[in-house]
A and B are shown apart, each in its own frame.
Chain A
Amino acid sequence: RKEVEQDPGPFNVPEGATVAFNCTYSNSASQSFFWYRQDCRKEPKLLMSVYSSGNEDGRFTAQLNRASQYISLLIRDSKLSDSATYLCVVTLDSNYQLIWGAGTKLIIKP
């Protein structure tokens, strides 16, 4: 089993719709969680951190479920510019390594 797993997609979603995807992690000692987005042939860029109580940044909402060991990302009122691959990242603060999911590809269609 991979340490961090994501549905590779692609998720094909009409513009304006709401879309959500999850990321599961295997190590219960995981401490920090992040969502990154990566555009085609570009570097990953931080989208948002994920806090225990859940957090929102505009149209984006991230949540953490420690009991079931997953994080989620919800995008409301999706835009064409949201088309990208979304990567989840998990850290064990006892070391310096970050564990990356393989990403979920999202395609927003007009």
Chain B
Amino acid sequence: NAGVTQTPKFQVLKTGQSMTLQCAQDMNHNSMYWYRQDPGMGLRLIYYSASEGTTDKGEVPNGYNVSRLNKREFSLRLESAAPSQTSVYFCASRDNQPQHFGDGTRLSIL
């Protein structure tokens, strides 16, 4: 069972470049989430999608956009990457249970 799959696992970008982080879950969960994790900061919610067709801002949405493509997939887009967006990004999904996480994407912006 794959659970939550994130791609890519690692990425290095130059300032100003754009990219999309992909996330897919095969557990038929309604809710999906994107977090970033920085040293000493814990997990901070960027965006979440309570159900297919809906998205909402979390704690730190600036500089990001999301798309809930269907029930399985929830992508995170950086339109113009900045060094402050260097972080580890986690996707998670959930129904009436605790969250299940993907392996994370380690993103460096130079």
Contact = CB atoms under 8 A, between A and B. Distances in A.
Given A43-B90, A96-B31, A97-B58, A8 B40 contact: yes
Contact of A44 (B31, B40, B41, B101): B101
Nearest to B101: A43
Interface string B84-110: 000010100010001111111000000
Contacts, number: 47
B61 to A, nearest CB: 13
B31, B40, B42, B58 interface centre (most CB from chain A within 10 Å): B42
Nearest to B106: A41
Given A8-B40, A101-B42, A102-B41, A45 B31 contact: no
Interface residues of B, number: 23
Instruction: Please report whether the interface of chain B is mostly helix, strand, loop or mixed according to DSSP.
Output: strand
A87, A96, A97, A102 interface centre (most CB from chain B within 10 Å): A96
Given A96-B48, A100-B42, A89 B98 contact: yes
A43 B43 contact: no
Instruction: Please report whether the interface of chain A is mostly helix, strand, loop or mixed according to DSSP.
Output: loop
A44 B48 contact: no
A41 B37 CA distance: 10
Interface of B: 31, 33, 35, 40-45, 48, 50, 56, 58, 88, 90, 94, 98-104
18 contacts: A34-B98, A41-B104, A42-B104, A43-B102, A43-B103, A45-B101, A46-B100, A49-B98, A87-B42, A87-B43, A89-B99, A96-B31, A96-B50, A97-B48, A100-B35, A100-B44, A102-B40, A102-B41
